[in-house]
Structure formats: structure tokens, C-alpha cells
A and B are shown apart, each in its own frame.
Chain A
Amino acid sequence: MSYARRALIVAWKDLVVERRSKETLNALLFFSLALLFVFQFTLGPDRERLAAVLPGVLWLGFILSGVLGLGRTFLVERDNDCWEALLLAPGDKSAVYVGKLAASLALMLVVEAIVLALFTLFFNVDLWPVLPGLALVIVLGTLGIAAVGALFAAMTAQVRTRELLFPVLLLPVLVPVLLGTVKATEALLLREPLTSVAHWWQLLVAADVVYVVVGLLTFDVILEG
């Protein structure tokens, strides 16, 4: 079986489980909706203030729902000895990482698309003109978040204090991604040309490459047991 096919099977399995149970997706959507209300109540009705903090608030929502969703990436493997089955999978174990990463990325992008739609609705911002650029920022940022998240989720899956440890490990590492995405989003919303924030694009791409490569190289070490 080829490497790509093995990765695809892991991703497909996770997505089918998610489609049938809708466990994570449903909870994440309600969580995001609740976050929108919390943002609205804490920031107040002042439109100008809202516009100024919008990029940060948007990414705060993405990061928080990402932390909740990604932390569960490997929980499905804990039942019925599925972890051992992953271990027994033939060939290079990094294919499992690629599959897990692809499935988490897909799930996060779905949640983010819906959150974005709710954002435009509730906070009355017109995102249509900047949507292509914004989509690219979201994909690049989410890839970085999911790449570290999948790695750390595998690490914390077997730890007793999992729910606490996962965000504590994840959030400081994600500071460069968070700064890059917020700054790039800010520039997009202010209708600045993309070239004015070229360094942030380069940083996001560099971060994605570093995180994915480290994940590929070290994943079998974590899966061992």
C-alpha cells in the first residue's frame, strides 16, 4: 500500500467517524456560537472598537475552538485498543500523522468557515471583497495550528491531566502563527496590498514547514506507546 493511500485511509476513517457521530463538530459549533456572544458582551456595542479588535477576536475564536477540537484528535483511538492497531499499521508511521493532520485540518476549516459566516452576520462586517486573501491566511494559519496540535494531542492522549496540559503546551508554541495570522488579517481588513505584509506571509509559510517537518520526523517516536 502506498504512503499516500495509508495516510488517506486514516483521514477517511476519522472523517467517517466524525460524520456519523458529529460529536466534535456539533459541540464546536455551539462553543463558537457561545464565544460570539461572550465577545459581544465583553466588548460592548461600540462599533468602532469592535472593528479595531476584529482580527484578534476572530483568531481568538479559531484558536480556542481549535484547542478544544484538536485535543480530541487521538481520543477516538483510546477505545477498543485502536492505539495498538495504529501501531500495527504497516510502513512508515508518519503516514498516520499525515492522515490525522488532514482530518483535523478539514474539521477545523469547516468550523472556521461557519464561524466566519456567523461573524459577518453578527458583527456586520463585509468580508466578501477580501475573501480570497482571508481564505489563504486561514488555511496557512490553521495548517500551522493543526500540525503542532496533532503532534501534541498524540503526546497528551495518554496523560492523566490531558485537558490542562494540551493547551499549556500548545499556546506558547503557537505565538508566531497567531501574530502572523492576526497581522495579515488586519492588513486585509484595512484593504492594504498583500505585498505590505509579505514578511508575515513568509513567516506563516516558514512556521508551517517547520511544524509539519518536525511532526513527520518525530511522530513515530510518540506513537511507540
Chain B
Amino acid sequence: MVTVLGWLAALAIVVGLATGFGMAPREVTQGNVQRIMYLHVPAVWVAYLAFTVGFVASVVYLARRREAADRLAHAACEVGTVFLGVNIATGAIWGKPTWGTWWTWDARLTSVAVVFVMFLAYLLLRQAVEDRERGARYAAVLAIVAALNIPLVHFSVYWWRTLHQPPSLLKPGASAMPPIILAALLVNFGALAILGAYFIARRARVLAGEAEAMA
């Protein structure tokens, strides 16, 4: 089942690359560098999806105390952090030629960076607590605090400063994006979502093996 998901992810990535490079047209002002968007934007969506899964799994773990829920929460938060890292790295690479700088303390960059550091701290806590069951409980509480904190971080940092172009997709009214570019973006989002699901399933299985070996 997990292996099938893996092959599906590989196939979807190939299709995503083909649409991103082959089907989607070259952007007029930015040129080919704009194509990094097909990785940059889906990566952050997948990361937030993974954090949502991690949040729900943490709540379920605290309510039911099933170890599978804990492993899912751990795997989802870890994979989410990786995708958020990809988003930040590709953002920097995209920012250099278009904005002229790798990093700027703009609202959305900052809020994503804060969320990234929160979940790095989550992974640190996972490592620091030696007792497995206690670590699972603490991590679940931290995941809940961090997930509920995300809207607060976004609002506060947005009010603090903004210079980023407004989001072009998830806003009221018609989408400003040409349909062909939107299609390529959604195809790549689907591909990365399948890849993320595969990583999470794979990581949860490794964690189950670890727990078995320790017992």
C-alpha cells in the first residue's frame, strides 16, 4: 500500500514537472525563474495540510491514547517542517533575482519562519524527552499550542509589516491567474500532496518499527 503510494508520487512528480516546464508558458516579466512557483507555493500548502493532520492526530492521541495516532502526529509534523523548509529555501532562491534579496522581514516570510521555528522546537522536544509515552503526551500538547498559535502569528506579523504581493489565489473575487498557470499549479500541488502523504506513511511505519525494536 505504502509502496504503491510511493510510485504514484513519483509518477505525479513527473507529470507535475512536465506541466510546470512544458505546458505552462514562460512568464513575461520574470522569465523562467517564475517556474519555481510550481514548487514554492504547493510546498507551503502541503506543509500546512501536514500540520493540520498533526494537530488532529495529536488531539486524537490525547483523547484515545492510541500509539498509532502519536506516530501519525510525529510523522506529519516532521514532514510538514521539511516542506516548509523547502518553501523557505525556494522562496529565497526566487527572491534573489526578482526582489534582489535572499531574505526580507516581510510579513509572510516572517510568519512562515516563525511557524518553522515552532515546529523545529516540537522536533527538539521529541528528542529531549527520553520516556516514550511521556514524550508523546508533551509533544501532543505542544503541537496543539503551536497549531492554534499559527493564526495569531499570521495576524500579528501581517499587521507588523507587509510588502509581499497579495495572495493571488485564495482571495475573494476572480482569480488573477491565467487558467493554464493555475492548472499547472494545481497539478503540482496534487503531486506534492501525494509525495507528502507517502513521506508521512513511510515515516509513521519507520516509527512503528523503532517502537517495536525498543519494546
Contact = CB atoms under 8 A, between A and B. Distances in A.
A221 B141 contact: yes
A218 B143 CA distance: 11
Interface stretch (B74-82, B124-132, B204-212): B124-132
Nearest to B137: A221
B124 A165 contact: yes
B149 A155 contact: no
A210 B148 CA distance: 8
Contact of A222 (B114, B121, B141, B149): B141
Contact of A175 (B124, B141, B144, B156): B156
A173 B146 contact: yes
B145 A148 contact: yes
Contacts of B7: none
Interface string A109-153: 000000000000000000000000000000000000000100110
A214 interface: yes
A179 B157 contact: yes
Contacts of B124: 165, 168-169
Contact of A225 (B125, B134, B141): B134
A56 B153 CA distance: 18
A200 interface: yes
A158 B134 contact: yes
Contact of A210 (B62, B149, B157): B149
Interface residues of B, number: 28
A169 B121 contact: yes
B152 A176 contact: yes
Interface string A151-183: 110010011110001001100110110011001
A203 B118 CA distance: 19
A200 B159 CA distance: 9
Contacts of B102: none
Contacts of A159: 128-129
A210 B149 CA distance: 8
A218 B62 CA distance: 9
B60 to A, nearest CB: 13
A199 interface: yes
B142 interface: yes
Contacts of B125: 155, 165, 169
B45 interface: no
Given A155-B138, A158-B134, A218 B118 contact: no
Interface string B106-127: 0000000010011001001100
Given A161-B128, A175-B114, A221-B140, A151 B160 contact: no
Contacts of A183: 159-160
Contacts of B160: 179, 183
Nearest to A202: B155
A179 B156 contact: yes
Contacts of B146: 173
A180 B148 contact: no
A172 B137 contact: no
A108 interface: no
Nearest to A203: B156
Contacts of A48: none
A159 B146 CA distance: 20
Contact of A155 (B141, B153, B155): B141
Nearest to A158: B134
Given A179-B157, A214-B148, A224-B134, 4 more contacts: A176-B156, A183-B159, A210-B152, A211-B145
Interface of A: 148, 151-152, 155, 158-161, 165, 168-169, 172-173, 175-176, 179-180, 183, 199-200, 203, 206-207, 210-211, 214, 218, 221-222, 224-225
14 contacts: A148-B145, A152-B142, A172-B114, A173-B146, A173-B149, A176-B149, A176-B156, A179-B157, A180-B156, A183-B159, A200-B159, A203-B156, A210-B148, A222-B137
Top 9 A-B residue pairs of the complex, sorted by shortest distance between their CB atoms: A176-B156, A176-B152, A172-B117, A179-B156, A172-B118, A218-B141, A155-B138, A175-B114, A169-B121
